[in-house]
Amino acid sequence: MRYDFKRDLLWLFLRPWVWIPRIVEILSSLIFLTINLILQGSSNDAEIQRKLAKKLLNTLTSLGPCFIKIGQALSTRPDLVRKDWLEELTNLQDNLPPFEHEKAISILKEEIETDLNKIFKYFPNKPIASASLGQVYKAKSINGDWVAVKIQRPNLEFIIKRDIVIIKILAVIGGPLLPLNLGVGLGEIIDEFGKSLFEEIDYKKEAENAENFAKLFDQNPTVTIPKVEHQISSKRIISTSWIDGIKVKEKVKLLENDINPTSIIRTGVISGIKQLLEFGYFHADPHPGNMFALKGNTGEMGHLAYVDFGMMDSISNSDRITLTEAIVNLINDDFDLLAKNFQQLGFLKAEQDLRIIAPVLKEVLGGALKKNVGSFNFKEITNQFSELMFNYPFRVPARFALIIRAVVSQEGLALSLDSDFQIVNLAYPYVAKRLLTSDDNEIINLLSRVIFDKENNLRVDRIENLLDILIEDSKVPGKELFPVAEAGLKLLAGKKGALIRKNLLMSLVKDEKLNTKEMKELLKLIKTKFKPATIGYGIIKNLNPIFST
């Protein structure tokens, strides 16, 4: 089961009784929607725009799974969709009408190929949840454990194969007529969408995703991944251990169960950042229905469970390091280098003159950050970019669609629990600490590029920025600084610190003369930041876990 446009186009072309009525249905719905957009789309009336967004939402929903997924994908693309429509598209339903229970049981029997009484002690007569691709039952296995059994909707492969071909044909034909700002062809975006959708309906692939994802958090007590029940799983069925938790969006229930919403936010955001910037493998659909809060805490971190691993994606090592570097450049207000990062990631063309881009980035990101990183709001920034992208050559590469979806979903969830939440209040300290303490060769090379300029001058101000970000909101600075001091000493003394030691020596010798200015500044910074009283708590905590929070 994989996406192949040419193969599927031939398959559909030979079945005119399939594609002709479906195209009529799709075109009639889209034409009616387009007429509404033409007549009222230019209106400045907020209520009219809200109704248009609702009409768009209802049209996509009524056209079925592929169009529902398109709506979800569009909700992550501020360069394609008006910002006042984005909010409505993010509200696409999670709980759609279920399909017939009898049909679900028939599919289950067909896939499992054995008597259900030999597998289940109890199986309900209706699902507990229903989505665009399948529905979930809470059942009890023969050994007495509760399990979640997800059964795929009937004929889903046929529906998706049919509709993806039609969607691409209509997109390629109609794309030039649409006022869209694309850096790549619309057909290429549809291809990326089709590929991910075919992977999502392969439940064997989802089971593999779940197990790979579980390995990443195997030693992390704050994140739980349900165990795949292979004996009750197949291509169209996936069963996992039941997660007895509370949907993270239900703030009242969280509080009733003595679960601190802020601790859940911390775990969700930090685990999301680790997936993107450390693991390079991430859950691309972290909406409220796919995340559950569990009782218990580990320090300031709540306990969180992920479910539904159909939409996963990877990020290349080079993109992962460049994203980390971009955040560091944002910390240091270096918008010239940030513009270069955007170019390296594909948001700008290789031949683009970056001299006109850096001021634009400073206008949007610098103005939002001001002097306080807590003023940063990812969604507000994407809204500002949605306006700038029609005047400047910014484009969102197709491979970043799922990353943006994941980040926006994560922040939206956090904001629903805490309206004052700022994602960089967690992201910035995480990146600063990782840059200053990691023994990963790629991160060490990045650290060298950040703290030394092209002439090998030591940028003490940048080291100070990173340290300040790390301890800005910390009640006990020593708790954050002690690992930095420990990692710094190990790096300078160890084999992996060769590049840093070399650059330090080169910064000391300039034009065959000894240059101690930068070293004096560094020693002054160390004396100021790493006072014995400041890091004392960190030492005590490191020696005695009783002091852990």
DSSP character string of 306-330: E---SSEEE--HHHHHHHHHHHHHH
Looking at residue 159, what is its pLDDT? 92
Looking at residue 183, what is its pLDDT? 44
Domain-by-domain residue ranges, the chain?
5-92+156-200, 94-154+204-242, 244-437, 468-547
Element (H, E) at 149: strand 146-152
CA distance 525 to 305: 41
Looking at residue 206, what is its pLDDT? 94
Q: Which CATH superfamily is domain 94-154+204-242 in?
A: Phosphorylase Kinase; domain 1 (3.30.200.20)
Whether 409 and 285 have beta carbons less than 8 Å apart is answered as yes
> Using CB atoms within 10 A of its CB, is residue 311 exposed (0-12), middle (13-18) or buried (19+)?
buried
Prediction pTM value: 0.79
Residues 6+ apart with CB under 8 A from 373: 331, 422, 424, 425, 428, 469, 472
Looking at residue 546, what is its pLDDT? 37
Q: How many residues does the chain have?
A: 549
Looking at residue 548, what is its pLDDT? 43
Q: Which residues are catalytic?
A: 285
Strands (E), 192-342: 223-224, 237-241, 246-247, 281-283, 291-298, 301-306, 312-314
CA distance 459 to 52: 52
Give bridge partners of residue 134 from the DSSP assignment: 152
Both tokens of 47, joined, read: 């209520």
At 244, which amino acid appears? D
CA distance 243 to 226: 7
DSSP secondary structure letters along 45-78: -HHHHHHHHHHHHHHHHHT-HHHHHHHHHHTT-T
Full pLDDT tens readout for the chain, 549 residues: 688 889 999 999 999 999 999 999 999 998 898 898 888 877 878 788 888 888 888 888 888 888 887 776 666 555 557 767 766 776 664 556 788 999 999 999 999 888 888 999 999 999 988 888 889 999 999 999 999 999 999 999 999 999 999 999 988 887 666 655 444 567 777 887 788 888 889 999 999 999 999 999 999 999 999 999 999 999 999 999 999 999 887 888 989 999 988 899 889 889 998 999 999 999 988 777 788 999 988 888 999 999 989 888 899 999 999 999 988 888 888 899 999 999 999 888 888 888 888 888 887 777 555 444 444 556 566 666 666 666 677 777 777 877 877 787 777 777 777 777 777 777 888 888 888 888 888 888 898 888 888 888 888 888 888 888 887 766 666 677 778 888 888 888 888 888 888 888 888 877 667 777 888 888 888 888 777 655 555 555 544 443 344
Handedness of CA 260, 264, 270, 274 (dihedral sign): positive
Task: Give long-range contacts, CB 8 A cutoff, 24+ apart: 289-293.
Answer: 289/94, 289/129, 289/131, 289/247, 291/247, 291/248, 291/413, 292/243, 292/245, 292/246, 292/247, 292/248, 293/245, 293/246, 293/247, 293/248, 293/254, 293/259, 293/264
